[in-house]
Structure formats: C-alpha cells, structure tokens
Structure 1
Amino acid sequence: MSDDVVRSFLEASPPGWVTAELEYLRLGKTAELRANLTCPDGEVLRVATPRATSAAFRALRGAVARPGEGTWFTAGCRIDGDGRASFRFDDDGEPAFASEVSVDDALEEMAAHPRDAARTAPRLAARLAAARERDGAPGLQS
C-alpha cells in the first residue's frame, strides 16, 4: 500500500524536482495532506496534492490499524526524484493540523480505530473526556 502512495503522487506531480516531502495527518474525519517539492536550485515549492494520494494514505492507515492499538495520526513520506521513498509514522504525537480539530474527531477516531486506555495519548484522552462531559459519549476501551 505504501507503493500506492508513491505511485499516485508520481503520476500527478510536475516534472523537474529533486525530492518530494509529503505529510498526511488524520484524526477521525479530519485529514490534511501537504506536499513540498525541492527543485534542483534548492527552491521549495508547495504543490497541490492528488486525491488518489490522500486515498492511498488513508488506505495505508487503515491497513496497519490494530484493535486496542489504533493506528498512526501522522505519516511522512520522502520521495527522491528516482522514485525511491522512505516513510515515517507517528501514532502518539499531536498532528500539526492547520486548524483545530473537534472532540467529535476524537470520537470518530476511537470508533474507527479503537485504542486501549494504556495506548491512548494524553491529548486524545482529554478530547474523549471532553466529549463524554459534553454528551455522555463512550470513552476508552478497558
């Protein structure tokens, strides 16, 4: 599935770059995908990201999810001009969204990718507690 991320980006990216840095963030239904290309002269350009690349990241995220453990929130992918790629994943850190996410996103996340209390990051637990306080929604699995 990681090949799908790379392939979908390469098929849609403009020519002439040296490296591409992709960052995909997701919590519940909120997702962002950013892409920066480094040109031969060192200039870095932010470029539009193909929907297929976002879909490939989402599929990859779902494929590695484990009941009680959840899945990652942020993935980074570096692609060299020759198509070689490396990935990094963060399943605990706060995703650096451009805007604030809601407690509903935390509920969606736990419904889609449940985590045991011991595997739930403090900031996610805080959002879940806020949701429970707001409307009595279920919290962490024990």
Structure 2
Amino acid sequence: MTESVMAQAEQDRVTKEVGRALVRAAGPGWQRIRAEYRSVGRHVEVDVAVTGPDGDQHPVRPPVEVVEGLGRMRGGMYRPGRGTWLSAVYVIEPPGTFTVEFEPDVEPPWRRVPPPIGFADELRFFPRSEDNIPDWFRVRAGLPPAVSSETQAAHTPPGGIELPAGGPQARPGVPFHPNTPPGGNPRGPGAFPHGPAVGNPLPHRHPAERNPR
C-alpha cells in the first residue's frame, strides 16, 4: 500500500488545500483553527477545533478534503525502513499563518486505541526496520521485544557457533556466524535480521507563513 514519495511541491500544494478547507469550515470570525489527524493501518481519527471571536473553542466536523488530503500526505511521506508519521497537528492563526507538525514515533492520543491488527497493517502498508519500531508500538502490535545487536553479540560465543557435521553451511574448521550469508563474509549489525536501511528522517515541523486562503 506504500505510495510513491510525494514531491515537496505537491506536499506544499496539498497542505494549502487542507488549510483552505479548514478555513471554510471554521466560518467567519475565527481566531484559531486546530486539526489533529491520527492514524495506524486502516484506523483513522480526525478532530477539528475552532476558537471563535469570544475565545471559546468548539468542535467542527472535519471536511472530507482535510481527511483525504492528510491521508495522501501520510502515504506520500513514507520513507523505506523509516515508516511514515502517525499523527499530524495543523494549526492556523490570523492573518492566516500556519504550522504543521508530523510525529512518526510517539503514540498518538487515541480516542479509541486501535486493535493489534491495525498496528500489524501499519507495518505491512508502511514497513519499518527493526530499529524504527518503538517499544510501545511493539506492545500494541503484539510483537516480541526488540533484541539489540549488543544482546545478540553477548549470546554468541567467541569464534561463532559450530554447526553439527553435515550442516547446511558447515565447512571443516570454519565456524558459522548467524550474520554470515552462505559463502560470504559476516555482515555488520543491523544487516540481518533487520529490514531495510533507515531512510531520511521525517520532518517533525513544516512551518509556512503564507495565508492558506
């Protein structure tokens, strides 16, 4: 389900479209608009709150353009091995300046915690390397705790593990290392059994000073 990387120009265009939709939904006299998008797998939660002229904050039904636009950005901002963001907060203040913050690793404040299948789907749709799966995510997904390369090394005797005679990779006088491919040299920590190499880190803040209107 991973989508092609969204170009920066396209990301900026969709960001403005989402902002214009929020302003239309807020109505006249707004003082602040805040939208929060939370998602994992197929589970999606969106909240929009508007602060009016009297200073009171009230909820607004999320426009379809906001839900779909942020969903497209989540897919388009995926990075191989790194995953994509799990929550985004979009804030607009007069005269129209806005900021968008993306969070890929901290657990969102769910209204209803998604079931384990949602987190399993997230890893299928947006695969992450072992080092990029937070501990809380592992618990939610029902995954075993991460095993660090240091722990793996601590349980491997010096010189590697001797295979029984006739083993698939046994060669006379040559110890077998778990991280050694057939006939090859041992790979460094993280090459096996971890997934793809970590890609570029996701931005945690996308500031802009233009009026989304």
TM-score by length of 2: 0.59
Q: Which residue of 1 aligns with 2:50?
A: 37
Alignment match of 1:113 (pick from 126, 130, 136): 126
Give the deviation of 1:141 after TM superposition: 5.3
Rg comparison, structure with higher value:
2
Q: Does 1:97 align with 2:110?
A: yes
SS in 2 for 1:55: helix
Correspondence list, 1:4-43, <5 A = 4-43=17-56
1: CA distance, partners of 2:83 / 2:128: 5
Q: State the one-letter code of the partner of 1:2.
A: T
2: CA distance, partners of 1:15 / 1:40: 9
Give the deviation of 1:71 after TM superposition: 0.7
Contact 1:24/1:31, CA 8 A, preserved across alignment: yes
Q: Which residue of 2 aligns with 1:124?
A: 137
Seq. identity, %: 26
Give the total of aligned pairs: 134
Contact 1:17/1:37, CA 8 A, preserved across alignment: yes
2: CA distance, partners of 1:30 / 1:82: 34
Structure 1 unaligned segments of length 5 or more: list them.
132-139
Which string of whole-angstrom CA distances, capped at 9 and with x for unpartnered residues, describes residues 88-112 of structure 1?
Answer: 1111111111112111101111111
Give the deviation of 1:60 after TM superposition: 0.9
Q: Which residue of 2 aligns with 1:83?
A: 96
2: CA distance, partners of 1:125 / 1:29: 17
Q: Which residue of 1 aligns with 2:86?
A: 73
Q: Which residue of 2 aligns with 1:49?
A: 62
1: CA distance, partners of 2:194 / 2:30: 46
Structure 2 unaligned segments of length 5 or more: list them.
1-13, 145-192, 196-213
Which string of whole-angstrom CA distances, capped at 9 and with x for unpartnered residues, describes residues 29-85 of structure 1?
Answer: 111110111112211111111111000000111111111000111100101243321
Which string of whole-angstrom CA distances, capped at 9 and with x for unpartnered residues, describes residues 121-141 of structure 1?
Answer: 11112233359xxxxxxxx95
SS in 2 for 1:71: coil
Higher strand share: 1
SS in 2 for 1:21: strand
Q: State the one-letter code of the partner of 1:122.
A: D
